Amino acid sequence: MTDEVYSALTAHTVAATGRDPHGAFLPLYFQMDLPKHGSPMWFQPALMYAMVLALKVLPFSESTIRLPMAIAGVANVVLMYFVGRALFGRGLFAVGAAVLLALTPAHFMYSRVAMDFQAPLPFILAWLLCLLTYLKRGDRRLLFAGGAILGAGVYSYVAAAAFMPLYLLLTAAVLLTRRESARSFAALGAGFILPLLLAIPALARNPTMLRDVALHYAPDDAPAAADAASSIGSLVAPARFADAATLYAGFWNPRFLFVDGPLRTTDATWQVGVFLLPVAGLLLLGLARAIRRPMAPLTLVLAAGVLTAPIPASFAQQSEAIRRALELLPFAVLVGVVGLESLWTDRSAMTRGIAFVAFWSVVIALAIASHDHVPRAQAYVRASTVPLGIAALLAVLDRFPIERLTLRTAAIPAVATMIACQAAYFLGLAWMVMPAIAVVFIAAWLLRSEPDGGGNRLRAIVVLLAAIASEFTFLYVDYASARIGPVPASAIVMTMRLGAASAVLLASFAAATIVRALLARFADDTVVAFAIVGVAYVQVAYFFVDWFANPWLRFLQVATIFVAAVKIAALSQQNTKRALQLGPLTAVGILGLLCLQFGFFYADYFTEFQARGSGTAVGSVRLAFESAVGDERGRPVPAIYLARVRNESPGLGAMYATFYLTKLKREDLIDATVEGDQYMGFEVDRVNSLPPGSLVIVNPSARNERVIDELTARGELTRDRLLKTPDGTPMFWILRKPGR
């Protein structure tokens, strides 16, 4: 990315000489030649000096300049654990918060680039940790430390100049609700102001800095302001509120947040949202908890952090630019864990049940909405239904003595049910089976109060399980068959379906009875652990239910899914401590879905994502220089001609060339590199003026191909190789001038 290259070259210069490319000695702010409205841009020092330190000990490369943000990403996860520990008081929820942040796609992606969009997050999390610890211990030194962290965080990212004072005000609001003394406010304010004193000399030496930064984010048609106050005022002018409100609302688009991420051209290669699917349900529960406790100080802080994160990007006209609103991530994760905690600890069983259904309904709805946008969306739908299905079985089989199911008591209702289902499939009435299952489920649930598994409840449960077994095997097992003698193929298929459903049902009854008898000797926690492992297996197996093409292997997989689900439900015994509760069931379901979705995102990110994002010339300059210059092995190259790689940015190719030539330790070729003036064009006169032995790097195009053919036919150029991007797109011709 362009900003990465600017920062890397600047950090390299500072590491080597102590001065930036403009000659300033260890400056606080770094001037970058990215002019807009005739003014340069200024970068914050936190990431820049971290890159300088990395370059002091490691060679100049992409990995080195990206290392600081990778370390910051790891630090974010560690800090999130301690914040979660301080906020929730339980290691389980602390681990949950850390895992949610680690598996957030936006956090993962922006921890791997040398840009400071995510640089404020360690400061935000460290401030939250200080605040939470202070609320428990009352040590004002923690307030001073929290204020100092916010003050230092101002130097992390340009928008931090707005966020850090906001978080300071939120801290003051918490102190106000606690009726703290003036000393507490003084400690907080002193800590915040102290780091800001460093900026006074820098602003005095560069009086136009604030104006320059504001102009960089002003609309393209905005007139250049004469001073900082006017330029900043233009960003938040009343006339811009309507547009900012529209852009702000776009940040809460569920598609953007949870389905496939930004639609902007530069980020349109995502196949996940900013967050993974389960976070949507957690946010719903967390916000519901916040509404129920609106005046809790920490609720105020977390909710304000979520709601304010997109505001600067909205006023800067950055549509769906999550990279400019990454402050959202830690607050959203914490609100989500608040939702999980409420599902786990709420005293009302009805409230927990409603929250459980609402959570998974939201996740399933988003998975269905992803169908046309995200690969494997149907598999995510399947995986999301597992906790609901198991919870339904748990409710129906609660305290039911499954060992009472015998062939004599279960055979007639089971066989009758499966025959009825097969008839419905044969007559084209398959759509009626699911509503019938719903009706039987309600009946079985209403009969749950019958003592000792009464006859009506027993029959209802048998009918329910037989219908589910028939439907499950009908949907996911192939029964293709040909006529055998006079027997029609349809009769053979119906018999196979009936046999498969019967086998699955009998296996589930037998397995549930055996497991229930064996686990009677184990402790409650062991039983729950077995149930959790079973839920994880069912979820993963159901996600991959279409993995096998062989019908027998598919049948075995489907059978194990159904049998495992019934076994899990059968673990619910008279002692309710042995039952799998909604909190743990939700947690294991969330973890399973997170791992599945993040796993595919991770694999895609390092393979297909790179190919989809490699179709620009800027992204492929590395390919050109490492292929062309890297093979020269110290041989003299008189000159390099590089076609201009981006229409709106003259000089960009030369900057990329400087980066890669420095990385390749061929600084001798930097001054010998010439960038073309015509976008993707082939300037024949300039190429002809190059000395013999020079390299020519140009883009393949219809016009360039004709020129190259003419020059090679006359012996003025030779084709060395055609470079292609990972997705196979031809990107650069490497040509050579003969004669050396």
Q: Is 270 helix (H, G, I), strand (E, B) or coil?
A: coil
Among the residue ranges 16-30, 535-549, 700-714, the one predicted with the least confidence is 700-714
* pLDDT greater than 60 at residue 35: no
pLDDT of residue 510: 84
* pLDDT greater than 80 at residue 718: yes
Among the residue ranges 60-74, 130-144, 256-270, 453-467, the one predicted with the least confidence is 256-270
pLDDT of residue 620: 66
* pLDDT greater than 90 at residue 342: no
pLDDT of residue 574: 45
Q: What is the mean pLDDT of residues 549-558?
A: 89
What is the side-by-side order of every strand in the sheet holding 730-736?
Answer: 673-679, 640-644, 695-698, 730-736, 718-724
| % of the chain residues with pLDDT over 70 | 86
Model pLDDT for residues 261-277, shown as the tens digit of each residue: 776 545 455 788 899 99
Model pLDDT for residues 189-226, shown as the tens digit of each residue: 999 999 999 999 988 888 877 777 777 776 655 555 55
* pLDDT greater than 50 at residue 242: yes
pLDDT of residue 584: 84
Q: What is the DSSP string of 19-74?
A: B-TT--BS-SSEEEEEEETTEEEEE-HHHHHHHHHHHHHS-SSHHHHHHHHHHHHH
End-to-end CA distance of the chain: 35
pLDDT of residue 265: 45
pLDDT of residue 496: 86
* pLDDT greater than 60 at residue 94: yes
Q: What is the mean pLDDT of residues 572-586?
A: 66
Q: What is the mean pLDDT of residues 543-569?
A: 90
For residue 258, the 8-state DSSP code is I
pLDDT of residue 119: 95
Closest to 339 in 3D by CA, of 280, 254, 298: 280
Per-residue pLDDT band at 575 (split at 50, 70, 90)? very low
Q: What is the mean pLDDT of residues 68-87?
A: 96
Q: Give the tokens for residue 658.
A: 């400087």
Instruction: Output the CA angle 141-144-147, nearest 5 degrees.
Output: 150
Q: What is the mean pLDDT of residues 655-672?
A: 85
pLDDT of residue 235: 65
What is the average pLDDT value for the chain, to the nearest integer? 84
Per-residue pLDDT band at 336 (split at 50, 70, 90)? very high
pLDDT of residue 720: 85
529 or 48: whose pLDDT is higher?
48
pLDDT of residue 435: 92
Q: What is the mean pLDDT of residues 291-313?
A: 84
Is the separation of the CB atoms in 660 and 629 below 8 Å?
A: yes
pLDDT of residue 403: 67
Q: Give the tokens for residue 44.
A: 């914050």
CB atoms within 10 A of CB 322: 28
Model pLDDT for residues 128-160, shown as the tens digit of each residue: 999 999 999 989 999 999 999 999 999 999 989
